[in-house]
Amino acid sequence: MVNVVCEFGTSLIIMHIKGRPDNMQENPFYDDVVSEIKAYFKERMDFATNHGVKEENIILDPGIGFGKRVEDNLKIIKHISDFKEFGRPILIGTSMKSFIGKITDSPLHERTEGTIASIAICVWNGADIVRVHDVRGAKKAIQLVDAVMQS
């Protein structure tokens, strides 16, 4: 993958995941989820830059929902600003995730409000990029967050 990124000068998203997609939710546990993700980011950024990826082309994604428990996802959201120490944009994807359904006792098709709330909190806490399903709703929430932050 780094060869393709280097050849075409594209961005590289480094996303944290515990395990592999087929086993990531088998008893995920962290002593300190934020510290472990930061260590992962450092190791993967070093690997990428040592193989020719320009640091300014790296985006970091803590991997909400990928090998994480509800409490891990909440801690990540609360501490997004901790990942800013790397000086790279932070991408967050909370849209319609199962942790929202568990907290709000909502099936997939009823997670819009929880998603909008999580996006607003993530942007407030330092997320630079959000992956969403409802672009219109997310944009309005982010406009309000930006207005408050700029006031």
Annotated catalytic residues are 97, 131
Phi (first) and psi of residue 98, to 5 degrees: -65, -30
**Alpha carbon distance 147, 151 (integer Å):** 6
The two structure tokens encoding residue 34:
């934020």
Number of other residues whose CB lies within 10 A of the CB of residue 64: 24
Q: Is residue 127 within 8 Å of 146, Cβ to Cβ?
A: no
The two structure tokens encoding residue 11:
């961005």
